[in-house]
Amino acid sequence: MLRETKRTTVYFESVIHRALRLKSIETERSLSDLVNEAVRLSLAEDAEDLAAFEERASEENLSFEAVVKDLKQRGQI
């Protein structure tokens, strides 16, 4: 399946760029393919998080102080 692509410039830290180049060589995949996959996976994680937030929207919100107090009462901190 062919996908429409757009060209962009991305600046990587030199050590990350080197690691990507080495992985590209080892896996016989392009840098673009590796970066697209990483971004796609990150966006999929975001989608899962958003779904979880939506699923739990009706749950009661607890303050940080209440959580810490509860942990202390349970002897967990």
Per-residue pLDDT reduced to its tens digit, 1-41: 678 999 999 999 999 999 999 999 999 999 999 999 999 99
Q: What is the pLDDT of residue 3?
A: 82
Amino acid at 38: A
Q: What is the pLDDT of residue 49?
A: 95
pTM: 0.69
Distances (CA, A) of 16 to 4, 35, 39: 26, 11, 15
CB atoms within 10 A of CB 29: 13
Question: Tokens standing for 13?
Answer: 């830290």
